[in-house]
Structure 1
Amino acid sequence: MRARPVLPVLALAAAAAVLVAPPASAAPPQPACGDTLTVDTALRADLTCLAGPGLRLAAGVTLDLRGHTLRGPGDGVGVEVASAGAVRVRNGTVTGWGAGLRTYGVEDAGTGPLTVDRMRFRDNVDGLDVSATQLGEWAKPTTITRSTVTGSSDAAVEAAWSVPVTIDRTTLADNRFGLRADGGDTVVTGSRFLRHERAISVYEGSVDVRDTAFDDNATGITAASVAVVTVAGSRFTGSETAVDGSWAFLDVAGSRFTANTTAVLIGTYGASVDGSTFRANGTGVALGTPAGTGSVTGNVFRLNGDGIRLDPGDAGIEVGGNDVRRSTGWGIYAPGVTDLGGNVARGNGNEPQCVGVVCDGTPQS
């Protein structure tokens, strides 16, 4: 029997394979400054632009910087993001722009979410400006995760006109302002705010801060107008004012305040300060407005200037279950408040140890 030739058979098989193989799709080329990206795109190298915008993202587009840098001329916008569609920006650095990232409106297209992940915004005027219009049009829900925003001469994150923002596992450092939110609902988790004039400023909206550290800010959290401020499991160190709730509905729980000039200011709209620790502050809890309401309960104060100083006090404030020791000034000074009982004050500099409430069975003064 004669053997079949092998080479022709192999050649025919290879030809068949070529015929059925799908054509390879070419990856989009390296974009140029000023391009509008309409498909998912990855940078292949750093990109330096002499004018803005650097890159514009259409609805539904993902930009992956692949560790590269988009560098600007000191003004303009680095990455412009459509209000429509789910847009993602990830894995790189944007530096030297008027705004590192800014949204733009798309008429009659609805809005979709923006996700910013593993990004570095450095030395821009604003890091990210995700503001809507004055009427709240084009409010693009924004999530910033595992990122850093540093060296912004104005705001690290600007969110005006009711844009919901989530900041998670992100560091904001050495900006003038950290987060400036107007009217929207903001959630901050597992993050750090370092060395700001104001770390978080919220106006007529809400901010929910959990498991977050604030170090060496002039003001940690402040409500510029009526707002809802919730703080849980967080740490504040080295602020002039750690939490200014003078004009907020304020809830502080399970947090730690160390070496601030004033740790917490409560005000007119109602405050709950509960289960927190205050150590080596100038004042632990004080009034930020002439009239205050709410409760100060179950807190521990050690080595402060004044522990609790509510002067003048108000029957709308309830004080109970606090343990205040070794203040250089007042332990609890709260004339006129409602006494819930259970307060302890010992070894504080001023006598009597408590004014306005009973401590350790000592009559009120």
Structure 2
Amino acid sequence: MVRAATVLTIAAGGLSGGAAFAGPATSPVVVTCGEVITTSITVADNLTCPGNALSIGADDVTLDLGGHTIRGGGSGVGVQIVDDNPQISGVTVTNGTIAHFGSAIQLSNADGATFSALLLTNDSGVAAPVIDTGRFPISKGLVISDTRVLHTQGNVIFAQLNVGAVTVTHSQIAGGAVFFSQSVGPTFTGDSFSNTTVTFNIEGDTTVTGSTFVNSPVVNDGFGFGNDVFQGNTFSAADTALTLADVANQQVTGNTFANNDIGVAISDSPGDTVSGNSFSHNRTAGVYFVDSGPMPHGTLTVSANKATTNGDSPDGATDPGGLPVEGGIYLYTLHGGASITNNHTAHDGGYGIYALPPTPGSPANTSSGNVSVSDFARCYPLNLCTYQ
């Protein structure tokens, strides 16, 4: 027997008013603006709200939009997970469109929320985060999967001090900005970014794999906790595609950097590894490393990379010593300690590999197995490479 959800009417006004759903819903339910959802439902039709739309006020609730659209009037929140104590856990919002609000989704003090199969558009002109994690208290275990965020005016995700263990998988982000600061362990897998920016500020254990970045620079900086992994991604059409600054022990492996100004720019980051990447047609350089600060530096490992036809249209940048940055792999190793092995460079403008000899008393750079083919200035020092 099909049984409709029981609807309990409570005082209207804001996200705490409207109707609360009690009992399981076995058929689509018509919702109205301002309702608090306390049991799993499937939405029956489209909804337009001039302010806030729906909120979720109980654990283990699934809000299935049923392929429908919740549309705002240019402000407010589409779906909010109510800030409660104890925190709300196990919420899922899925299968629909949330558009034209200040923020499509807002959550605070939520545990294990999942947003999947959604189209989120902040086309209202309000520079609010599409997914707003608030500030305090802490939300954790946020999962965003198979979701598209398009045409945002502000931040796509703004997560600062208050979010742990965010996972974004197989999602598309176009426009706006993704910003994480002082949170732990964001993970991006199989995602697509275009015309956006991604910033990890004072982060740790960040993992980005199998994702595509088109005109979408990634910046990882600010004395982060380190141990970050960028693996198997494609970066293209950016000024500097990946910037790593003042963060230790990062792994940049198996990525493709093509048609940027600079592929990877690294500064004062001890113990980083750049290995097995492909760099091609980056106008100034495939890799640009600067080791100039007073902090102790671990070994930079640059190994088994391929750099082809980089440095053909340099932007005029110079290293701290005043020399032009130009070529496949350009390493300003003032304090030394770089391991440069088994890289293959070909047809690069400037140098195939440039590695500044360290200052006296600093650890020596070590090299072996590097091959240069028809690079304009070959390698420096000359014995850094063999030539074909």
Give the TM-score band, short-chain normalised.
Answer: 0.7 to 0.9
**Aligned counterpart, 1:89:** 93
Match of 1:38 in 2: 38
Task: Give the conservation status (yes or no) of the 8 Å contact 1:163–1:185.
Answer: yes
State the partner residue of 1:302: 308
**Alignment partners' CA distance in 1, 2:130 and 2:174:** 11
Secondary structure in structure 2 of the residue aligned to 1:206: coil
- The 5 A counterparts of 1:1-365 are 24-27=2-5, 29-52=29-52, 54-60=53-59, 61-82=61-82, 83-105=87-109, 111-123=110-122, 125-133=128-136, 137-161=137-161, 162-175=163-176, 177-196=177-196, 198-217=197-216, 219-228=217-226, 229-249=228-248, 250-270=250-270, 271-281=272-282, 282-288=284-290, 290-291=292-293, 293=298, 294-305=300-311, 306-336=327-357, 338-350=365-377, 352-355=378-381, 358-360=384-386
Secondary structure of the residue that 1:248 maps to in structure 2? coil
- Cα offset for 1:297? 0.9
Q: Tell which structure's C-alpha radius of gyration is larger.
A: 1
C-alpha displacement of 1:302: 0.3
Hey, which bits of structure 1, 4+ residues long, moved more than 6 A?
Answer: none
Q: TM-score, normalised by structure 1?
A: 0.84
- CA, structure 1 residues 263+361, in 2 after alignment: closer, same or farther (shift >3 Å)? closer
Contact 1:160 1:184 in 2 (8 A): no
Structure 1: gaps (5+ residues): 1-22, 106-110
What is the deviation of 1:316? 2.4
Contact kept, 8 Å, 2:291 with 2:335, in 1: the verdict is: no
Q: Distance in 2 between matches of 1:202 and 1:168?
A: 21
User: Residue 165 of structure 1 contacts residue 185 of structure 1 at CA under 8 Å; is this kept in 2?
Assistant: yes
- CA positional deviation for 1:215: 0.8
Moved more, 223-232 or 297-306: 223-232
Greater shift, 124-133 or 232-241, is seen at 124-133
Matched residue SS, 2:384: coil
Query: For 1:283 and 1:151, how far apart are their aligned partners in 2?
Result: 31
Contact 2:211–2:233 (8 Å) recurs in 1: yes
Q: Given that residues 303 and 326 in structure 1 are in contact (C-alpha distance below 8 angstroms), is that contact kept between their aligned partners in structure 2?
A: yes
Larger CA deviation: 89-98 vs 338-347? 338-347
Q: 1:325 to 1:138 in 2, by over 3 A?
A: same
Q: TM-score, normalised to structure 2's length?
A: 0.79
CA RMSD of aligned residues (A): 2.1
Offset of residue 59 of structure 1: 2.4
Q: Which amino acid aligns with 1:322?
A: N
Mapped contact 2:286–2:307 kept (Cα < 8 A): yes
For 2:339 and 2:107, locate their aligned partners in 1 and report how far apart those are by CA, in whole Å: 45
Sequence identity percentage? 25
Q: Distance in 1 between matches of 2:383 and 2:191?
A: 38
Residues 251 and 103 (structure 1), Cα distance of their counterparts in 2 relative to 1, 3 Å cut: same
Are the counterparts in 2 of residues 37 and 57 from structure 1 also a CA contact under 8 Å? yes
